[in-house]
Amino acid sequence: MERTIVHMDLDSFFISVERLLDTSLIGKPVIVGGTSDRGVVASCSYEARKFGVHAAMSSIMAKQLCPHAIFIRGDMDQYSKFSRIVTEIIAREAPIFEKASIDEHYLEITGMDKYVKNSMLWTHELREQIIKETGLPISFGLSENKTVSKIATGESKPNGEKEVQFGLEKIFLAPLSIRKIPGIGDKTNATLQKMGISKIETIQNMPILAMQKVLGDNGKSIWRKANGIDTNPIEPYSEQKSMSTETTFDKDTTDPVMLHNKIVAMVDTLSFELRKLKKVTGCVTLKLKYSDFQTHTFQATIPYTASDHVLLQKLTELFNKNFNRRILIRLIGIKFSNLVSGFNQINLFDDTEEKINLYNALDKIRLRFGEKAIGKAVGLKDKKK
């Protein structure tokens, strides 16, 4: 049976939420992200893009290009809230879906045409339902695989829908820029442009070995995507996706300083793992096991993040609120759950380039020399024990 895959993407998601909350922003150039001169653009409206503004650009450059733009710091609480609402709507209707990031989903609706209704009509009705219940614009692409559907979504924006019928994938892709292929960044694009490759059709007509010779395994992947070949399955979304760590003490304790230091060390470790996987978490859990072996967990839903300081603040709040100094603690643990992709996108909400660069620099050191090579002073001290 031919697969039927839908890619749904909320249009300029952060901007759309801001406009929903403040209608005076509609039709105006709006930029969300770091508001200081050392900040970074997280998202921008189509009106701002006309002036050359784009995500990951420095705020000072964006101001120079579009001096009349309205800058907004952004509210991850609101963005996370609306992201969850959209996910809930999709979960009610779709048989299988994958939450790819805070603002995009893949849906597996193979067999819809045969057993329910025309797949394009079904997806159109779902899109209309999302718009009606949230007020947010959303686009979708429909084809037989994830890559083509994602590219089709891009071609349907803003606030549109596009179907690429089975067997027409190569014809649809051929005239498009190579930048439309997921996974082609600035460096790969520059390499291919130097070879005179600017359109997907050129890659389609090349031997796969030629691409592999220039770009290694990534070249092989790009060639397959350019030819509309993608067998990657939908990874069913589950709120239970999580990562956790815990420590059992040699001697039961009520020492708040030691317990806090252990939390710092665990947050340091797990947040690095999150960023390494390019994931963010929407829920944190603190676990305490007492000397009488009773176990209690304390959970909090949070705006999607992978930043140490945000996660540590919330877990410290949970600890301070629930820690009983009169009862000895045998084990302490933390868990991050409700994981989705999108750290690079969310990371841009840190107010300065310095903070973003600091995280990146620390992570590069850890990747090269090991997770214990660098970290917060108290955390490192605790990790070495």
Closest listed residue to residue 9, CA positions, set 71, 125, 90 = 90
Q: How far apart are CA 115 and CA 265, in angstroms?
A: 52
Q: How far apart are CA 209 and CA 211, in angstroms?
A: 5
The contacts of residue 288 (CB under 8 Å, 6+ apart) are 295, 296, 297, 298, 322, 323, 329, 331, 332
With contact defined as beta carbons under 8 Å apart, do 379 and 264 qualify? yes
Q: What residues does 244 pair with on adjacent strands? A: 335
Closest listed residue to residue 280, CA positions, set 125, 128, 102 = 102
Q: What residues does 242 pair with on adjacent strands? A: 337
The answer to whether residue 104 is catalytic is: yes
Element of type H or E holding 47: helix 46-49
In Å, the largest CA–CA distance within the chain is 73
* Integer angstrom CA distances of residue 70 from 22, 73, 75, 78, 289: 12, 10, 15, 19, 49
| CA 227 to chain centroid | 26
Active-site position among 104, 163, 169, 353: 104
Q: How far apart are CA 372 and CA 349, in angstroms?
A: 27
* Integer angstrom CA distances of residue 262 from 13, 209, 224, 246, 371: 37, 51, 46, 9, 16
| CA 350 to chain centroid | 15
| Tokens found for residue 74 | 């952004």
Q: How far apart are CA 53 and CA 247, in angstroms?
A: 47
Q: How far apart are CA 363 and CA 371, in angstroms?
A: 8
Q: What is the set of active-site residues?
A: 104
